[in-house]
Amino acid sequence: MKTSKYIVAILLVSLGITTQVLAQDTIRHRSVSVEREYRPVIHDAGKINSIPQVLEPTGVKSPAEFSDFNLPLNAAYNVRPLPAAELVGEKHTNANPGYARLGFGNYLNTLADFAYPIISSTDTRLDFSLNHLATFDPTQMHTTTKANLSFDMIINTFDLYAAVGGGHEYLRYYGNYFNGSDSALNINTLIPKYGQSIYVEKDRAGVINTPLMYSLNSLATDPIGDTFWRFNMLAGVRSLPQATDLRYQAELQYRVFNSANGIKEKVVHTVAGFSSPSQDNRLGIGFELYNMAYSSTKIPDFNFWKSYSVLALNPYYSIERPEYKVRLGLKSSFSFVHGKFYNPSADISAEWKAVPEYMTVYGGLTGDYQVNTLDKIDAENPYVYSDLRVKDTNAPVELYAGIKLKPVYNLLLDAYLDYKQFDNQYFFVNKGYSLITSPAGMPQSDTTLYSNRFNVVYSNASRVKLGFRADYNLHKRINVEFKWAYNSWNVDTQDHAWNMPEYESQFNTNVRVTDNFSVSANVYYEGGRFAKLGEVAVPMHDKVDINLGAAYSYLNWLTVFGKINNLISNKYQNYYGYDVQGANVMVGAAFNF
């Protein structure tokens, strides 16, 4: 009851102040924009957003983007453009709106995409999509399948939308165990002599911070894999992009994440906001409310609160002119039950076209509050320990500045500097156990174990990022993108920002040789990463991932494609103990109908 009273009181005060200011202003300025097809946006899970964004008007409908399975990376995050989708997509007509793609490769890798508009008219859309990505290699099995049904209808001056979807994911914990000397270890070899030995958890923190004890037998019988079920639905209404008076959005999301061997999470996420003209500018407020509940039949005493809420308010004032944009606001996040109650940050940003069409300068002072839901964390690292619910992260200060240059029409350069502070930032580490009493004959190195599940350690931290990107496009025939960034971390209570890269770079290119044939190349690099095993910092192999692809449109409805991933068979690890696949090939075909 107290939580509900706090939420209602804070919301009423904020809305009352904003309404009073709005009432004092008169509408003096209107602008006209071009209407386009309006599609709903599903927010990233866990991120506290500002006022819902009104999409910029454009007369070009964006083509559908279809996922690509690139197996050197974890199955959950492989979303990369594939020429097959581009070539077939451009040949779509109203008579052939459907799309399907199938791919097969070594390591028993599979890919499937399907999308079809059940209803497609000028003001109503009902779309169905199905996606499947998997490796059925017995030692590294990881499968993901998801389906979505989305509805969108424009009614007079507003947009009504809804969506429902679900997914299934299965993975094996195929990574190595390690002992105290950083040697890979098969704990089953210790069972005959030391199976009854008792180990105690290391670095346990949370609601229940008393370390738990396990026998070596129980550690050896942990499940070899896990299954995740996801369900989500949303419904919302918002003003159309051409609205010049009141702009608004109200959306309700419901998400369920269920780990077969872990915790079940239910999230009700409410998003609302509006803005109104204030003389020649705009005044608005954004609102978000997370209500979360947790339960488990496998882990009755899991290490987190059973339920809690997070409320975010973002009043702002924006000035938009052809030559510059300024936003002045305040973000306030209130966490009930868990963490610090009040988490404020500035919301200030500016962009100035110093030399129109050639140079833009931008910068800002902001911050954000991240709700680290189970769904979000398991998508980031699916190998976390089954009872882990990561605490939320607050970044009270982020200061950034940059410059965009467009020396020629089809070349864009962007350089930036970003400084960010973190309260309670989490870092993934291999979960550790220490032997309570050493039995006779046990090697000293085996008295400490590190599993292939991951725990987190927390610390206040700051990061300075220096980045650069370049994009080049030549008559839709050649597309080249290059990104580079240097990260300098300062972590208060840790030696390194564990698993975080010091250097990052990415190169992507796609060349359309003819109207029906294209080739592509992708190169990814991450260096300067460290894993934590006890008090030891273990340097991780640099990620060097080179991928080549080609696609040929043989008929108006058929495209064949092939891709080789991890060309140099670099045995890097995304997380310590988990080697990626070596060189692998995928071939397949895409169809439109």
Q: Is 69 left (phi over 0), alpha (psi -120 to 50) or beta?
A: beta
Mean pLDDT value across the chain: 84
**Cα 574 to chain centroid, rounded:** 16
Cβ proximity of 145 and 131 under 8 Å: yes
Tell me what percent of the residues of the chain surpass a pLDDT of 70.
Answer: 84
Alpha-carbon gap, residue 391 to 371, rounded angstroms:
8
Locus of tokens 């299934």: 168
* pLDDT tens track for 97-132: 888 999 999 999 999 999 999 999 989 999 999 999
User: pLDDT tens across 168-213, in order?
Assistant: 999 999 999 999 888 999 998 999 999 999 999 998 877 887 888 9
pLDDT (0 to 100) of residue 84: 59
Band of residue 88 on the pLDDT scale cut at 50, 70, 90: low
What confidence tens digit (pLDDT) does each residue in 250-306 have? 999 999 999 999 999 999 999 999 999 988 899 999 999 999 999 998 887 788 889
90: confidence class by pLDDT, cuts 50, 70, 90: low
* Predicted local confidence at residue 52, as pLDDT: 36
The correct answer on CATH 2.40.40.20 for the domain covering 2-592 is: no
Residue 385 has pLDDT above 80, yes or no: yes
> How high is the pLDDT of residue 357?
87
What predicted TM-score, i.e. pTM, was given to this entire model?
Answer: 0.84
d(CA 562, CA 336): 51
Of 56-60, 174-178, 182-186, 448-452, the one with minimum mean pLDDT is: 56-60
What pLDDT sits at residue 79? 29
Number of helices (H) and strands (E) in the chain: give both, helices first: 5, 28
Calculate mean pLDDT across residues 313-328. Answer: 95
Residue of 222, 562, 497, 266 whose CA lies nearest to 385: 222
Cα-atom radius of gyration of the chain, to the nearest Å? 26
pLDDT higher than 80, residue 81? no
Q: Could you please report the per-residue DSSP string of 504-549?
A: EEEEEEEEESSSSEEEEEEEEEEE--EEEETTEEEEPPPEEEEEEE
* pLDDT above 90 for 49: no
pLDDT tens string 228-255 = 999 999 999 999 887 788 999 999 999 9
Nearest to 48 by CA among 303, 347, 317, 365: 347
Residue type, 381: N
> What's the mean pLDDT in 408-435?
94
Residue range 519-554, pLDDT digits in tens = 999 999 999 999 999 889 999 999 999 999 999 998
**Are residues 99 and 114 in contact, defined by beta-carbon separation less than 8 angstroms?**
yes
pLDDT digits (tens, 9 = 90+) for 463-494: 999 999 999 998 879 999 999 999 999 999 99
